[in-house]
C-alpha cells in the first residue's frame, strides 16, 4: 500500500528559525495536532476534517491559511517539487505535529534524491525518522492537550528550540534539561510573537546560560 501524507502546505522559502536560519528550504506542513499551544501560529493545521480534503492543484493555489489539506504520496510531492521549479535541497517537515506520523520512509525517499531532511516537533510523540534527519524539538510544556515531553525525543534532538515569553518558560526549560540530563545540544530560545519583553528576556537568558537566540527571521523580513 502506497503511503500518503496529509499536507496542509507545500512551499519553498528560507528557513527562519534555529540552526538552519537562512537556508533555502522546502516546507512540508502536515495536518493534525492535538497539543493545543495557546500561542500557536498554525492553528489551521490542528483538525483533520475529511470534507476539507483537496487535490494538489487546489492545495498549491491556496492564497491564505486554511484547514484544507491534500493526501499526497511521496512521488506526487517530488513531482510538485519539479513542476514548481524548487531549487532548495533541504526539506523541513513541520505541522501541525508531524511526528504523529512515521516519517522514516519520507526521509529515506528524499535523502536518496539528494535532499537533507529536518523535522520540527513538540517532543510529545515518538520521533520516527532516518538517522540522518536533523531533529528540532520545540518542547511544549503543560499545554492544553496534556501531552508530556518524551525522554526519547529530548535525547534524539539535534537542537532544542524553546518558545519563551515569561520567566516561567525559562524555568520550565531548565527543569526539562535537568530531568532528561540533556547536555551538549544546541539550545535556542525563541521569543513568542516577537514581543519586546519576550525578546529582551530571551537575549538576557541566552547570555546568562550560553544558549542561542532564534528570532523567526521570516516574520521580520515578511516572507512565508
13 is in an annotated binding site: no
185 is in an annotated binding site: no
39 is in an annotated binding site: yes
94 is in an annotated binding site: yes
Rounded-to-integer distance, Cα 56 and Cα 64, Å = 15
Rounded to 5, what percent of the chain is helix, strand, coil?
35, 25, 45
58 is in an annotated binding site: no
212-213 β-sheet, strand order: 70-72, 5-14, 24-30, 90-94, 116-121, 134-137, 159-164, 186-191, 212-213
138 is in an annotated binding site: yes
Cis omega (within 30 of 0) on the bond before 96? yes
Grid coordinates belonging to 94? 513541520
156 is in an annotated binding site: no
107 is in an annotated binding site: no
171 is in an annotated binding site: no
42 is in an annotated binding site: yes
117 is in an annotated binding site: no
4 is in an annotated binding site: no
32 is in an annotated binding site: no
Rounded-to-integer distance, Cα 133 and Cα 116, Å = 7
The C-alpha torsion from 207 through 160 and 73 to 2, rounded to 10°, is: 170
Rounded-to-integer distance, Cα 9 and Cα 29, Å = 5
46 is in an annotated binding site: no
The answer to whether the CB of 127 falls within 8 A of the CB of 153 is yes
139 is in an annotated binding site: yes
Alpha helices in the chain (DSSP H): 56-60, 74-84, 104-111, 151-156, 167-179, 196-209, 217-221
Binding-site positions for S-adenosyl-L-methionine read 39-41, 96, 138-140
Which segments are annotated as binding site for Mg(2+)?
A: 42
Residue ranges of the annotated binding site for [4Fe-4S] cluster are: 33, 37, 40
Detail the residues annotated as belonging to a binding site for substrate.
Answer: 14-16, 29, 94
Residues annotated as binding site? Answer: 14-16, 29, 33, 37, 39-42, 94, 96, 138-140
Amino acid at each position: 500500500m502506497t503511503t500518503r501524507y496529509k499536507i496542509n502546505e507545500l512551499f519553498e522559502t528560507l528557513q527562519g528559525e534555529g540552526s538552519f536560519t537562512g537556508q533555502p528550504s522546502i516546507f512540508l506542513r502536515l495536518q493534525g495536532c492535538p497539543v493545543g499551544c495557546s500561542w500557536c501560529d498554525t492553528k489551521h493545521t490542528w483538525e483533520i476534517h475529511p470534507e476539507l480534503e483537496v487535490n494538489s492543484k487546489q492545495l498549491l493555489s491556496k492564497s491564505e491559511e486554511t484547514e484544507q489539506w491534500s493526501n499526497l504520496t511521496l512521488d506526487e510531492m517530488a513531482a510538485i517539487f519539479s513542476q514548481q521549479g524548487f531549487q532548495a535541497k533541504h526539506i523541513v517537515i513541520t505541522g501541525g505535529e508531524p511526528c504523529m506520523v512515521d516519517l522514516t520512509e519520507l526521509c529515506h525517499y528524499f535523502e536518496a534524491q539528494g535532499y537533507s531532511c529536518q523535522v520540527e516537533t513538540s517532543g510529545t510523540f515518538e520521533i520516527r525518522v532516518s538517522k540522518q534527519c536533523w531533529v528540532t524539538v520545540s518542547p511544549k510544556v503543560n499545554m492544553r492537550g496534556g501531552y508530556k515531553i518524551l525522554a526519547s525525543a529530548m535525547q534524539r534532538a539535534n537542537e532544542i528550540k524553546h518558545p519563551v515569553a515569561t520567566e516561567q518558560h525559562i524555568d520550565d526549560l531548565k527543569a526539562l534539561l535537568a530531568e532528561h540530563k540533556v547536555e551538549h545540544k544546541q539550545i535556542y530560545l525563541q521569543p513568542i510573537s516577537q514581543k519586546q519583553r519576550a525578546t529582551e528576556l530571551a537575549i538576557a537568558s541566552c547570555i546568562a546560560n550560553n544558549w542561542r537566540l532564534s528570532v523567526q527571521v521570516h516574520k521580520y523580513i515578511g516572507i512565508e
